[in-house]
Amino acid sequence: MALLRNDGAEFPKLAEAALPRPATRGNRVTLKAGQPEAACFLINEGKSDIFRAENLSSGKPVPLLTVSNLPAGSDYASGSFRHTPLPEFVFYKPGAANLLLRPVEESAAGKFQFGKENNFDLGQPIRRVITLDEPAGQKLLVIFGEGEKAGVFEFDGVKAPVLKQTIVSPMKC
């Protein structure tokens, strides 16, 4: 992995870090207000995936969070479902029916870890999970099957997601 910085004219290389395999599902997530965004990604280890969040603000990758032993081919979404200052991550494997919620906790200033996990079975194969921002709080948009059906869920990160709206399409999403 090469870390580049856009200085307006060029993309100078700041650092290189070896990853055991290619990173997928890259995203930027703020773990705590006022701190730099973390680079989040998954790495496939063959039979399982590893989720990593790293701080890149120094020009070198600094590990912040890791989750090992996710099912191979996993994906994730993040949000603030419990209305806490730190986010939660929802992990899932497309084609499976369950969501795994892992809240972020701060053990000391700037030191993050994942808290106790919660599993939720939605009863049908999940294709994609998207966090929706609404004035009353965040919700989950879950696309099921091959994209022919979706649902908008209220979710507090503690109790099972509650279906609020079903979306059925004659076309796949």
Q: Which residue has the higher pLDDT, 3 or 44?
A: 44
* Band of residue 57 on the pLDDT scale cut at 50, 70, 90: confident
Average pLDDT of 152-159? Answer: 93
Kindly tell me if the per-residue pLDDT of 93 is higher than 90.
yes
- What residues pair up with 40 in beta bridges, in sequence order? 27, 53
Residue appearing with tokens 């969070």: 65
Contact between residue 88 and residue 81 where contact means Cβ atoms under 8 Å apart = yes
Q: What is the DSSP string of the chain?
A: -EEE---SS---EEEE---SS-EEEEEEE-SSTTSPPEEEEEEE-SSEEEEEEEE-TTSS-EEEEEEEEEETT-EEEEE-TT--SS-EEEEE-TTS-EEEEEEEEEEETTEEEE---EEEE-SS-EEEEEEE--TT--EEEEEETTTTEEEEEE--SSSPPEEEEEEE-SS--
**Conformational region of residue 107, where left means phi above 0, alpha means psi within -120 to 50, and beta covers everything else:** alpha
Residue appearing with tokens 């079975």: 121
For the chain, give every domain's residue range: 19-168
* Band of residue 173 on the pLDDT scale cut at 50, 70, 90: low
Report how far residue 158's alpha carbon sits from residue 123's, in angstroms, rounded to the nearest whole number. Answer: 18
Q: From the options 3.20.20.70, 2.120.10.30, 2.40.33.10, 2.10.210.10, give the CATH code of 19-168.
A: 2.120.10.30
Sequence-separated (6 or more) residues with CB below 8 Å from residue 61:
1, 3, 15, 17, 39, 54, 55
* Amino acid present at 79: G
Report how far residue 26's alpha carbon sits from residue 153's, in angstroms, rounded to the nearest whole number. Answer: 24
Kindly tell me if the per-residue pLDDT of 2 is higher than 60.
no
Cα Rg of the chain (Å, integer): 17
Report how far residue 150's alpha carbon sits from residue 130's, in angstroms, rounded to the nearest whole number. Answer: 11
User: For 5-25, how does the pLDDT look when each residue is reduced to its tens digit (9 = 90+)?
Assistant: 566 777 666 656 666 677 789
